[in-house]
A and B are shown apart, each in its own frame.
Chain A
């Protein structure tokens, strides 16, 4: 036992320490508080200090990042909200902790169900952010959000999100998940085109 191992270990620690300052000198001011600096610190050749000063700095999340879901609505030409959800119930069935509650709308006159939710709740204290609801929704109506700053002082009041709170426009969806959005729109367009091609030309029917 001669302490050589300890000393060479300490040198490595010292190296880590010194690296931080060398990097600071090399990169300059843009190392902190800028998107470029954050990217540098999390890249695969990062050296020196590694931590991100949350909340002043925030790590950008990747597109696939999933947090509590939201409901997508399209904006019609007249400016009205068109909720994509048809209250088919698949998300409520697939949800592992069963934290989705959907009340289907019923036509007051006929008593028949209509394909839009009257209410839609997600208990975010129970939601495990698994993303299965979004994965299996056949109408691209529920998607995982990127907004992870949901802490509130009163969970009793604020942690069951209703339809009102859950609805977000398709433009927001396109912004946080551009690739998925484009892919889905393309798929939809292709389906529409196929349908149009299969339909007999106008005028020949009946």
Chain B
């Protein structure tokens, strides 16, 4: 086979590695199951020979009845094309899997998450600690036999609500009363110093390995969790030498609510409003990705009009999100709140439209499987047209004149927080962060979903991979979104907005699916496993900002403390999504 062929065709793993790999032939499943001991070899071949250079998602599924844990890997080529999935299966009582961090450094945070929530041990991982839950957490919550405090039933709807609903107050259920479990020998009173020591040690290890000869005083500084620069409750532990960052660890999970466990108790439909609360700046995108994943399982297709409205909402959301991202980046640079309020003003006009169509400004809950919750009224269409055809292009230009040539912005952003294209790919960065590094990868182009193949738009990308390019990419993406919006509004057809009848219990056949969209912050994916019941067996969110944070430390090393603040701003995180 020629090089070009190996790099573009989907490899038949089971014929290439007949002894190591078998196709996943369970009904409704795709991809391949790889023998655990050969995982690294297969993954390496996929990356180096077959061109799957970006590890998109790593997660696990607990198949309790079979006594197995499965680790699921999704990889794609940054040159485009569909996503590729392979899995390894390990026994539940001894789940050890080789870590992919040596091949794909972008697996670092994701493997920690799988370890934390499912108890899968990744051998060879440089820093396998809990990440979203705290050290005093007993068990691994996404195991199917793990029960939360005041556990009621495996799945909603709960029987206690109807027909004999005896109300009780939610706050009477205090999860820190006598129903909480601690690990054996754990004393919550004596926790803090121990736990942070292990965290700080991971920093010192790095330092000693890199600078054995230098005898300077490096100090550990905590930025956050309560810090105006961290965009929420997020913490960075930095090892400093003077003003210089030697190493840095992101610490997250302060806003963790076990979204995925809640979702596995919910029915498929009940999850829709919960997805709003992930990246709450971009709830329409979250709806979109989740609806795509469930629709793939159900095999339904929304009608034309619904597809157009979906695209309109998703692109408006992108503009909202980028206005906020750019505005708050300027906040981090010290332009306190004037730019961000100019951005918020435009956002306000757009969320007015969301409120008109969906009933809520932020928590839209607008998408349904096979369509939308309700139609877009002529007034809402009119208002969108006014914004898209007149105001938004004007305001984006004004933003541009306002900030792009500002000398302070350029001084602070150019050449700071550089991420090379190779590093960006290796670290699984997606969205504007990846594109600013010169990799023009956009899911809307690479694997068009919905009706994105009908629109003309350009994929914005940068060349330098610094903060300034991330800013420029976002500005350009807003313009491209306006371009898509103009076409979508022009072609918006009349017709129904729902395939089939709206139903409060949807039938979802057994199987797995991965739905992904190009969210404003990166590739947002939902990995679902259904066993044919009303509730998803597994529900995993590939959260773009969480995974983009893997690049934070490499971007920050060698920079100054003040740069870190701007670098974090340029990743554009939303803690609702990072912590889930």
Q: A residues bordering B, Cβ < 8 Å?
A: 1-6, 8-9, 12-13, 16, 42, 44-46, 50, 61-62, 64-66, 87, 89-90, 92-96, 98-104, 113, 119, 121, 123, 125-126, 128-132, 135-136, 144, 156, 160
| Docked complex Cα distance between A50 and B391 (Å) | 15
A132-B364 Cα distance, complex, nearest whole Å: 12
The 8 closest A-B pairs by CB, nearest first: A101-B165, A5-B405, A130-B273, A89-B162, A104-B163, A96-B270, A66-B359, A93-B157
Enumerate chain B residues within 8 angstroms of A1, measured Cβ to Cβ: 407, 411
Q: List 29 A-B contacts (CB under 8 A).
A: A1-B411, A4-B405, A9-B403, A13-B402, A42-B349, A61-B355, A62-B356, A62-B359, A64-B357, A87-B163, A89-B161, A89-B163, A92-B157, A92-B165, A93-B157, A93-B504, A95-B270, A98-B156, A101-B161, A101-B167, A102-B161, A103-B166, A104-B162, A128-B273, A130-B365, A132-B273, A132-B365, A132-B504, A136-B502
Residues in B neighbouring A96, C-beta threshold 8 A:
156, 266, 270-274
Contact with A along B390-420 (1 / 0, CB 8 A): 1100000010011111111111000000000
A8 touches B157 (CB 8 A): no
Query: Looking at the complex, which one of B165, B271, B357, B411 makes contact with A103 (CB distance below 8 Å)?
Result: B165
Q: Does B447 contact A (CB under 8 A)?
A: no
Query: Which of B349, B360, B373, B387 has most A Cβ within 10 Å?
Result: B360
Asked if residues A132 and B402 are in contact (CB atoms below 8 Å), the reply is no
List B contacts of A5 (CB < 8 A): 404-407, 409-410
Residues of chain B at interface, number, CB under 8 A: 58
A158 to chain B, nearest CB (A): 12
User: Is B567's beta carbon under 8 Å from chain A?
Assistant: no
When the two chains form their complex, are residues A103 and B401 in contact, meaning their CB atoms are under 8 A apart? no
What chain A residues lie within 8 Å of B352 (beta carbons)?
42, 62
Contact B163 A102, beta carbon cutoff 8 Å: yes
**Shortest CB–CB separation between residue A67 and chain B, in angstroms?**
9
* Most chain B CB inside 10 Å of its own CB: which residue of A9, A46, A65: A9
Q: Give A1 to B405 CA distance when docked, in angstroms.
A: 10
Give the contacting residue for A44; candidates B156, B267, B357, B386; CB below 8 A.
Answer: B386
Residue of A nearest to B342 (CB): A16
On chain B, the residues within 8 Å of A2 by CB distance are 407
Which partner residue on chain A sits nearest B409 by CB separation?
A: A5
B169 within 8 A of A: yes
Distance in Å: Cβ of B117 to nearest Cβ of chain A:
21
- On chain A, the residues within 8 Å of B338 by CB distance are 13
Bound CA–CA A171/B291 (angstroms): 36
| B residues 92-135 in Cβ contact with A at 8 Å | none
| Residue with the highest number of chain A CB atoms closer than 10 Å, among B162, B273, B411 | B162
How many angstroms from the CA of A89 to the CA of B269 in the assembled complex? Answer: 16
Smallest CB gap from B161: residue in A: A92
Residue in B363, B373, B411, B504 whose CB lies within 8 Å of A94: B504
- Other 9 A-B pairs with CB < 8 A, given A8-B401, A130-B365, A160-B169: A1-B407, A5-B410, A44-B383, A92-B161, A94-B270, A99-B170, A104-B164, A128-B273, A136-B502
**Nearest residue, chain A, Cβ from B394:** A45
Contacts of A113 in B (CB 8 A): 163
Any A CB within 8 A of the CB of B56: no
Q: How far is the CA of A62 from the CA of B360 in the complex (A)?
A: 10
Main secondary structure of the interface of B (DSSP, over half): helix
- Are A92 and B355 in touch, CB under 8 angstroms? no
Say yes or no: is B453 at the interface (Cβ < 8 Å to chain A): no
Contact B163 A103 (CB under 8 A): yes
- Given A6-B406, A42-B352, A44-B391, the answer on whether A12 and B398 have CB atoms closer than 8 Å is yes
Measured CA separation A10–B303 after assembly (Å): 48
B363 in contact with A129 (CB, 8 Å):
yes
The smallest beta-carbon distance between B159 and chain A, in angstroms, is 10
CA distance A156 to B172 in the complex (A): 10
- Chain B residue with the shortest CB-CB distance to A103: B165
Taking the complex as formed, is B345 at the interface, i.e. its CB lies under 8 A from any CB of chain A? Answer: yes
- Interface residues in B496-548 by Cβ distance below 8 A to A read 502, 504-505
Contacts of A92 in B (CB 8 A): 157, 161-162, 165
Asked if B37 CB lies within 8 Å of chain A CBs, one says no
**Given the known A-B contacts A90-B504, A100-B161, A132-B269, are A126 and B170 also in contact in the complex, defined by CB atoms under 8 Å?**
yes
Asked whether A62 lies within 8 Å of B355 as measured between CB atoms, the reply is yes
Within the assembled complex, what's the spacing in Å between the Cα atoms of A90 and B502? 13
Q: Quick one: given A5-B406, A94-B270, are A65 and B355 in contact (CB under 8 Å)?
A: yes
Bound: A93/B165 CA distance, A: 12
Flag if A130 contacts B504 (CB, 8 Å). no
Among the listed A3, A45, A64, A131, which residue makes an inter-chain contact with B355, where contact means beta carbons less than 8 Å apart? A64
Interface centre among A16, A42, A44, A66 (most CB of B within 10 A): A44
Contact B360 A129 (CB under 8 A): yes
B269: which A residues are within 8 A, CB to CB?
94, 132
Contact of B374 with A by CB under 8 A: yes
B-side contacts of A128, CB under 8 Å: 273, 363
Q: Is B348 an interface residue (CB 8 A)?
A: yes
Is there contact, CB below 8 Å, between A125 and B171? yes
Chain B contacts of A135 at CB under 8 A? 373, 502
For A50, give the chain B residue with the smallest CB separation.
Answer: B345
Q: Does B358 contact A (CB under 8 A)?
A: yes
> Are B165 and A119 in touch, CB under 8 angstroms?
yes
Query: Which residues of A lie under 8 Å from residue B374 when comparing CB positions?
Result: 64
Interface positions, chain B 472-504, Cβ under 8 Å from A, are: 502, 504
B158 nearest CB neighbor, chain A only: A98
- In the assembled complex, which residues on chain B have CB atoms less than 8 Å from the CB atom of A93? 157, 161-162, 504-505
How close is A180's CB to chain B, nearest CB, in angstroms?
9
Give, as a whole number of angstroms, the nearest-CB distance from B160 to chain A.
8
* Docked CA distance A144–B365 (Å): 14
A126 to B356, CA, bound (A): 24
In the bound assembly, the distance between CA atoms of A144 and B163 in angstroms comes to 22
In this complex, what residue of B is CB-closest to A16?
A: B342
Give the chain B neighbours of A90 by CB distance below 8 A.
504
Q: Which residue of A lies closest to B405 (CB)?
A: A5
Chain A residues near B273 (CB, 8 Å)? 96, 128, 130, 132
| B-side contacts of A129, CB under 8 Å | 360, 363
CB distance from A130 to the nearest CB of B (A): 4
Cβ of A111 to closest chain B Cβ, rounded Å: 13
Kindly state the separation between the CA atoms of A9 and B357 in the bound complex, as whole angstroms: 35
Contacts of A42 in B (CB 8 A): 348-349, 352
Question: Which residues of chain A have C-beta atoms less than 8 A from B267's C-beta?
Answer: 94
A contact residues around B358 at 8 Å (CB): 64
Nearest B residue to A45 by beta-carbon distance? B391
Residue from A104, A125, A130, A131 in contact with B170 in the complex, judged by beta carbons closer than 8 Å: A125
- How long is the Cα–Cα vector from A87 to B163 in the complex, in angstroms? 8
**Chain A nearest CB, measured from B29 CB (Å):** 28
Interface residues of B in 130-185 (CB under 8 A from A): 156-158, 160-167, 169-171
Residues of A within 8 A of B398 (CB): 12
Min CB distance, B502 to chain A, in Å? 7
Q: Check if B363 sits within 8 Å of A130, measured CB to CB.
A: yes
In the bound complex, residues from chain B placing their C-beta under 8 Å from that of A66 are 359-360
Residues B165 and A156 in contact, CB atoms below 8 Å apart: no
Give min CB distance, A153 to chain B, whole Å: 16
Judging by beta carbons under 8 Å apart, are A123 and B359 in contact? no
